[in-house]
Chain A
Amino acid sequence: MKTLYRGYLAGPIITALWSVTIVITVAVALSLGTGIPLRPSNLVSLLAGALVGLAFPLLRRPILVAAGATVLFALLTVSGIGPINFREETGSVTALLFGGVAGAAVSFSAARIIGDLPFGGMDRHEFENCVLRFLIGFGFVVFTAAVLIPFGVMVATSLKSQQELLQNPLDYSIDLSKGWDLLRSYRELFVDFNFGSYLWTSFYVSVVTVFVTLLFSVPGAYAVARLRFAGQKQFSQSILLIYMVPMIVLALPIYMAFSVAGLRNSILGIILIYPVTTIPVALYILQGYFRGIPVEIEEAGLMDGLGRLSVIRRITLPLCLPALASVSLYVFMIAWNEFLLAFMLLDDPSKFTLTRGVAMLNSSEIPRQHLMAGAVIASVPVLALFMGLERFLTRGLTAGSVKG
């Protein structure tokens, strides 16, 4: 390991690996974004990266080296050797541009990673910091790509037509000249597939679920957290236990009971069952919050002549408003995203929730872009809500432990 503690070894090795990572990333991004078929050449990017990695500690002029590397990558690409190879005849301006972009992306970020490396020996700190910066950069690239690519593909596919998708499944460039025609899949979903009504059903089912859940779980959580009664401890443990019973175990008897009672295929049945799946979670989160409120405040209220119920209403609940917001958002998310029960209990297309409606689109007769448009419609409200109120939701998520 100690032999690596030298700038002229560590620099090239780390930059070479970094170069391969970034060139592949840039090639994938450019390929998906422009539809031009590209192929990254790992050997070339490895060698070019190593060269650049040697130049940084040798010259110790990061900006100059990075600029030089950009030119080098661009020229290599134009001459056809390049870290980026084109599978079809492409103009040299495009090649110059793509090579330059790859070169700049590699070298300017590499300057941040190994820019201050000495040419000769270095100590353990310098070396490990350098490796650490590489790992951090690598992590950012990998995680961001892993999250962005699926969601990007979802949105981009929904804007394509069947023909375009079959022609080149890699072309996700958006042709703005089509104007409103880009949103054709969405229009068809709303006009022909009744998605407006599914959206509304999902919305009010989720809102009702939130209200019913709070109505049941607030008093329950308060009792478990504050009041002394025989079996209190066992009770708070069994909440967690109940909340761990998987829905698939219960789905079978519920399906049978609902069939007998005529509640299958009705929104009422869904509204009856959803809160019960969320009450244990809400109870579990809320009792934690209630325990965190100093008991003295409530005792002061009791001393001043309030009854227990007024203490809850006038003291505890106002203090818990942020917690209630977190729980509401979390429950809304669970109800909005719920799939299994909606799938098993609803058969009549006029009563579908959004998730059930999207599941209906998964058939070989319905084109893919419709399915993806449905997925976008189902995701956007909950993601928008989440981005807007992230603070509350993350608190709900962490407190709700790990329901999933």
Chain B
Amino acid sequence: MPTIAPPKNAKPLQKQEARLAWGLLAPTVTSVALIVLLPLLAIFWISFKPVSLGDLRAPVPLANERLRGEITQPGDTATIQYRLRNSNSENQINGVTLTDTIPAGLSVSDLDPRCDLAGRQLTCEFGDWEGGHRETLELTVTAEADFADGPPDVRASTATMDGSGENVLTSLEFTFENFMTVFEARDFLSVLWATVFYTVVGTVGALVAGLFAALLLNQTFRGRGFLRGLFLFPYVAPVIAAAFTWVTLFDPFSGSANALLLQMGFSTGPINFFGERPLALIMVTVFEIWRYFPLSFLFILARMQAVDTDIFEAANMDGASPFQKFRYLLLPQLFGILSVLFLLRFIWTFNKFDDIFLLTGGNAGTRTLTVNVYEQAFAVADIGAGAAVAVVIFLCLLGFSTVYFWSLRHEEEL
């Protein structure tokens, strides 16, 4: 008797479906690969390279040509001068050559030994140039024709130079120096501390504030829709507007916050909110909480409104007090969304760059890992070190994501 079982091999229809799926996904996969995976590989590659901002351009030989002396009638002599240099001050160029065409009506009388003249075609071979190499090549020319109308234009044919410069990025030279620079920096511990403080306190603070706001708006009253919209403002407004407003508000000299504190008698002198340790780190974290509590509030409110009201009625019958209802009935039901939110927000806060960059620029002890990438790569111009920090961030992230997916699976099993 034949047993009935699903077919084991992929059937044509199934294959067709898979083909269609990949066809639909192809544009996305290609673009994401180009802009996400490729840069990721690149950042790993660069992090092992001794490269600074100036090394980004491969060295090229450059020539600047001009005619010195006056030529008006046959027999006049002049000099064609080539000013040559290596564009890069550090890296060598191999096998440098120059080719140019000598204008008609001029004959070259003394030729540099490295050069060769075939008809009007000039070819010179210079060998290898060190970084920053400069020299001047001169050719004496004699006029054969009448140039009363004006001297011949030597630039009519551009001198082309050739040579293979070695780009640090494509060489096979690797180093651990970048990682050493990052880890051994005197302020690395402070960077780590700022990251941990900002991430943990920012995440927990935004969750708690969001929970509080959700409790407020979980009641029915007039103007609730308006308030809900208002509470989302910090998140929806562009970060640049929010951050600059805070900077203006808390300016040590002309800011309203200082004037207000002074007038109300809470402080005696101007406080530099975004410029003092450790106040700057606290302020940056408060900004993070202010800006992202709307998001947690939105999620928690959505979950709260899905909670079954029957259990609250039952609790009322049993005489549970308001705080007991919150602690023993509502909070346990919110635990799931709170933990998911915590993990996701944790990752996003860890990734945050714009906010701190705009508020303090990473000064006064607020430099987190992400700001450190920018600081190393652009402020210090050490692209290799910046890439090394980026790699560290990515590895941390990989760890967090593993925890996230593990806990998701764990939750599904429950």
| A315 close to chain B: CB less than 8 A | no
Residues of B within 8 A of A253 (CB): 38-39, 42-43, 46
When chains A and B are docked, how far (Å) is the Cα of A333 from the Cα of B227? Answer: 20
When chains A and B are docked, how far (Å) is the Cα of A244 from the Cα of B347? Answer: 7
**Which interface class (under 10, 10 to 19, 20 to 34, 35 or more) fits B?**
35 or more
> Beta-carbon contacts of A246-265 to B below 8 Å, as 1s and 0s?
11111111101101000000
Is the CB–CB distance between A276 and B32 below 8 Å?
A: yes
| A176 close to chain B: CB less than 8 A | no
When chains A and B are docked, how far (Å) is the Cα of A362 from the Cα of B247? Answer: 10
Is the CB–CB distance between A153 and B249 below 8 Å?
A: yes
| A40 close to chain B: CB less than 8 A | yes
| A177 close to chain B: CB less than 8 A | no
Shortest CB–CB separation between residue B322 and chain A, in angstroms? 5
Interface of A is mostly: helix
Is the CB–CB distance between B244 and A371 below 8 Å?
A: yes
When chains A and B are docked, how far (Å) is the Cα of A40 from the Cα of B264? Answer: 6
Contact (A249, B238) CB under 8 Å given A87-B263, A276-B31, A276-B35? no
Within 8 A of B (CB), among A7-33: 24, 27-28, 31-32
Shortest CB–CB separation between residue A149 and chain B, in angstroms? 8
Within 8 A of A (CB), among B1-22: 14, 17-18, 20-22
Is the CB–CB distance between B256 and A144 below 8 Å?
A: no
Contact (A371, B248) CB under 8 Å given A252-B377, A402-B345? yes
Is the CB–CB distance between B234 and A147 below 8 Å?
A: yes
Is the CB–CB distance between A169 and B255 below 8 Å?
A: yes
Shortest CB–CB separation between residue B339 and chain A, in angstroms? 13
Is the CB–CB distance between B345 and A229 below 8 Å?
A: no
Q: Which of B84-92, B135-143, B181-189, B387-395 lies at the interface?
A: B387-395
Residues of B within 8 A of A105 (CB): none
When chains A and B are docked, how far (Å) is the Cα of A402 from the Cα of B319? Answer: 38
Residues of A within 8 A of B393 (CB): 246, 248-249
Shortest CB–CB separation between residue A216 and chain B, in angstroms? 5
Residues of A within 8 A of B232 (CB): 386, 390, 394
| A372 close to chain B: CB less than 8 A | yes
Is the CB–CB distance between A153 and B256 below 8 Å?
A: yes
Is the CB–CB distance between B348 and A404 below 8 Å?
A: yes
Residues of B within 8 A of A375 (CB): 238, 240-241, 244-245
Nearest A-chain residue to B325, judged by Cβ:
A128
Is the CB–CB distance between B241 and A398 below 8 Å?
A: no
Contact (A151, B233) CB under 8 Å given A249-B390, A252-B43, A253-B39? yes
| B48 close to chain A: CB less than 8 A | no
Per the CB 8 Å criterion, the residue count for chain A at the interface is 105
Residues of A within 8 A of B238 (CB): 336-337, 339, 354-355, 358, 375, 378-379, 382
Is the CB–CB distance between A340 and B353 below 8 Å?
A: yes
Give the residue among B38, B260, B290, B341 with the most A Cβ atoms within 10 A. B260
Is the CB–CB distance between A382 and B237 below 8 Å?
A: yes
Is the CB–CB distance between B231 and A147 below 8 Å?
A: yes
Is the CB–CB distance between B17 and A228 below 8 Å?
A: yes
Nearest A-chain residue to B258, judged by Cβ:
A169
> Which of the residues B46, B241, B370 comes within 8 Å of A376, measured between beta carbons?
B241
| B386 close to chain A: CB less than 8 A | yes
When chains A and B are docked, how far (Å) is the Cα of A233 from the Cα of B22? Answer: 14
Shortest CB–CB separation between residue A98 and chain B, in angstroms? 15
| A165 close to chain B: CB less than 8 A | yes
Within 8 A of A (CB), among B333-387: 341, 344-345, 347-348, 351-354, 358, 370, 373-374, 377, 383, 386-387
Residues of A within 8 A of B35 (CB): 250, 254, 273, 276-277
> Which of the residues B28, B351, B358, B405 comes within 8 Å of A220, measured between beta carbons?
B28
Residues of A within 8 A of B229 (CB): 386-387, 390
When chains A and B are docked, how far (Å) is the Cα of A258 from the Cα of B353? Answer: 21
| B302 close to chain A: CB less than 8 A | yes
| A279 close to chain B: CB less than 8 A | yes
Write 16 A-B pairs (CB below 8 A) sorted by A numbering.
A39-B263, A151-B237, A219-B28, A220-B24, A240-B401, A246-B370, A249-B394, A277-B35, A308-B20, A358-B244, A359-B240, A397-B235, A398-B298, A402-B299, A402-B345, A404-B295
Other 4 A-B pairs with CB < 8 A, given A125-B321, A358-B244, A383-B233 = A125-B322, A139-B216, A150-B245, A387-B229
